[in-house]
Amino acid sequence: MNILDIITDPNTRWILLGTMFLGLSSGVIGSFAYLRKQSLLGDTLAHAALPGICVAFMLTGVKSTSYFLIGAALAGLVAVFLISVLTRYSKIKQDAALGIVLSSFFGFGIVMLTQIQQSEYGNQSGLDTFLFGQTASMVMSDVYMMMTVSFILIFTCTVFFKEFKLLSFDPGFAKGLGLPVVFLDYFIMMLIVAAVVIGIQAVGVVLMASLLITPAVSARYWTERLHIMVILSGIFGMLSGVSGTLISTSVNDLPTGPLIVLSATAWFFFSMLFAPKRGVLSSIWRRVSAKKKYSLEQDRRKGSHSS
């Protein structure tokens, strides 16, 4: 298929729209997660969504994105609660607590998933597509869901931009000003869960974290202003969604989710190399030119001495 065919195909257009909004919203909320040094938390919440989805399916018996959203959100809440209990009442540090919760929730999810596959629900449920995502399974209502969650996410990040910024930079000062820091903490986590839930259908729980982290890290290379970083991160996420979907549609049998993630990684490498100021090439260039300038000056000094 060439590009024109892809864009005129109504089914692909819906999927494109969905992955676009997914990239946009996870890029935006991912910026805050990254700056708050909670990248691993995104990964944990994504993996923790799996048992939540399985339980939601077992209870309702229907494959509905909104039920899954509720299930994943509740599982996310439980995960967050466990992490805070582990770090508060034991000597376990946060990174270890995240690791424990991530793997145990995911293990639990896989067990339930297998159970569902072998039970009377049968393979019809197709829940295993949530592991690595499958855009082909997306229907119009899923895309509407993605758009709605996306709008809510972006709207919230715009309205509370000032608070999120202060919370990310200096939570102690934020608390001193009287901001409800604990509540906002949970609030941001819930927004991450929302981004995860709309993403797992397309990208899957295993790879979802990269859509939260990679665009944000890429965006950080290009700017020193937070609002520009958040916007850029959204754009990088969106571009990754679009290019991943287009590549997978034009090359047969390549999975969309992993391709979206790889697109995000490509943007990351591009940013790391070519970004002005913070990029690798720019800092090598600066070092070389400083060296050259210094040695030139030395030569000149020597020249003036000998004459």
Partner 1 sequence: MNLTALKVENLTIAYHKKPVVEDVSFEVPEGNLIGIIGPNGAGKSTLIKGILELIPKISGQITIKGSTYKSMRKSIGYVPQRESVDWDFPTNALDVVMMGRYGHLGWLKRPGKSERQMGMECLEKVGMAEYANRQISQLSGGQQQRIFLARALAQEADIYFMDEPFVGVDAATEKAIIQLLMELKEKGKTVLVVHHDLSTVKEYFDWTMLLNKKVMKIGPTEEVFIPEYLQATYGGRLAILSDTKSGLLLK
Site of tokens 């077992």: 58
- Residues 6 or more apart in contact with residue 156 via CB below 8 angstroms: 191
Taking residues 91 to 130 in sequence order and writing x for each that binds partner 1 by CB under 8 A, - otherwise, the string is ----------------------------------------
Q: Which two tokens stand for residue 249?
A: 């549609």
User: Shortest gap between Cβ of 54 and partner 1 (angstroms)?
Assistant: 37
Q: Which two tokens stand for residue 157?
A: 């990040």
Classify the phi-psi angles of 276: left when phi > 0, otherwise alpha if psi is within -120 to 50, otherwise beta: beta
Q: Please select the residue that binds partner 1; options are 15, 24, 29, 35, rule is CB under 8 A.
A: 35
Q: Which two tokens stand for residue 224?
A: 């020193």
Q: Is 159 in the site for partner 1 (CB under 8 A)?
A: yes
Select from 100-108, 147-155, 163-171, 184-192 the region that touches partner 1 (CB under 8 A): 163-171
Select from 58-66, 102-110, 226-234, 263-271 the region that touches partner 1 (CB under 8 A): 226-234
Closer to partner 1 by Cβ: residue 42 or 204: 42
Instruction: Compute CA 6 distance to the chain's CA centroid, rounded to the nearest angstrom.
Output: 26
Q: Please select the residue that binds partner 1; options are 10, 178, 252, 253, rule is CB under 8 A.
A: 178
Query: How far apart (Å, rounded) are the C-alpha atoms in residues 269 and 31?
Result: 17
Query: How far apart (Å, rounded) are the C-alpha atoms in residues 23 and 222?
Result: 18
Scan residues 228-247 and list those touching partner 1 (CB under 8 A): 228-229
3-state secondary structure of 169: helix
User: Shortest gap between Cβ of 235 and partner 1 (angstroms)?
Assistant: 16
* E strand or H helix at 123: none
Q: Is 155 in the site for partner 1 (CB under 8 A)?
A: no
Footprint of partner 1 (CB under 8 A): 35, 37, 159, 161-163, 165-166, 168-170, 172-179, 220, 223-226, 228-229
